[in-house]
Amino acid sequence: MRVRRAGTAAAVLCGALVLASCGPTQHTGSADHTPPVRTAKSAAKLPVPRGKGSTVDDDFNGDGHRDLVLDDLVKAQAHTDDAGIGVVYGGARGLTPGARQLLSPVKQGAATKGQLPAVFEAEATCDLDGDGFTDLVVSTDPPYDGQGQPPVPLQILFGSPSGLTGKAVKLTVPARARAGKDWPDQPVCGDFDGDDAQDLVLHASGSQLTYLRGPFTRKGAPKAATAPVPAPGELPTGPALDVDRDGYDDLIVRTAEGTTTSALVLGGPTGPTRTGALLPAGIDVALGRFGKGRALDAAIGAMGGTALRYDLPTADRGALSSPGSMLDAADFDGDGLSELVSSGSRIKVFRGRTAGLSAAGMVTVEPTAVGTTRVLAVGDFDGDGRADLVARTYQGEKKDTVAVFPGVRKGLVAAEPTVTFSTSAFLSP
């Protein structure tokens, strides 16, 4: 799983027309089988499938298939306002870009003092009210005159059988959970107290965190909130994972943006209150089970040419010679060990093995178009038990290509994508 500051390009996921299936896509189980690429045929939208609730990650309509959130959509004209947040819903064969939804501050945002937000950015996803439908936490820009504490900029869009429908509600952050005059932002979801309900951790001020216990009401209020929790840094980052397998989710807290040190903060019966391993300076951190062991490992990305690997929670140092400014981790071949995705000028996937990460068998993911390519998301979108890699190639403000590369037993990631589309599809009615 990727650990990143909330709010950066997600998700984090042909041409300019929306994709319609060109035929069935099947997983045969063959080690190197890659289904045919589904390409755009028309701009016609497809209905969002109705679900009954599930425990699948990022499943806003609860139909048991993972969905994709996209920020920074391409625009009809350069230098115009942000188009909003795009959602592509999943189906039995994976992502189905025809079943898409555009979330905008005008239609979905909650007003503050009569003013609708101009900014609407995806921040975190989890089932905050425990109804079986994933919810989306978004960041907005409420009016603030600089006096006193700023208003809470976070709003929640609740999932439903039809997906993310209806208006957002403002997240309630009780006064006792705030400190100083910083914006309460940088939300990270996780079950930090082990009660099977999703909680939220936010930046408070200084080296303090705001901890909101779930479940949350449909009006955006937490079940409970504590006084700000001392922390080893400024910026909580997700996703949260149970690193030491004690039944409580843990998270990474960075001391600042950019190249900086970070630390593991451990969950417990009272929430994320204990500092674990201290990690060296780097640009990004990813958590995964890169080798055989009970606990997860951390990979720290550095521009100088080395991604450092530390076993947690003891922080025994290992090294992998590869520059990487952005990191992700996921199990692409289904063997129970995580692979490390390192991206910067190129996207590389390093195999997880019993002894740890290895450059042997490293795979390079080739972009589908000329431009700047970045990883949008990693996760099992087609339901075959192996993670897939979603990459996006930017070709300017008005053109891009999103491609889904499925995980395979041999080769880690398929050489060709099974789905390609452009976020310009969200601009069509």
Per residue in 406-426, pLDDT (tens digit) is 999 999 999 999 999 999 999
What type of residue is 6?
A: A
Per residue in 41-63, pLDDT (tens digit) is 444 689 999 999 999 999 999 99
Per residue in 387-407, pLDDT (tens digit) is 999 999 998 778 899 999 999
Q: What is the CA radius of gyration of the chain?
A: 20
Chain-wide mean pLDDT for the chain?
86
Residue 305 has a pLDDT of: 58
Residue 280 has a pLDDT of: 86
Per residue in 171-222, pLDDT (tens digit) is 999 999 999 999 999 999 999 999 999 999 999 998 999 999 999 999 999 9
Model pTM?
0.89
Q: Give the CB-side neighbour count of residue 238, counting CA atoms within 13 A.
A: 27
Angstrom distance (rounded) from CA 286 to CA 138: 23
Listed range (23-27, 41-45, 226-230) with the worst mean pLDDT: 23-27
DSSP assignment letter at 426: G
CA dihedral 11, 16, 21, 22 (to 10 degrees): -140
Q: Is the pLDDT of residue 370 over 90?
A: no
- What is the separation of C-alpha 130 from the centre of its chain, rounded to a whole number of angstroms? 19
Angstrom distance (rounded) from CA 253 to CA 209: 10
- Please state the rounded mean pLDDT for residues 95-110: 95
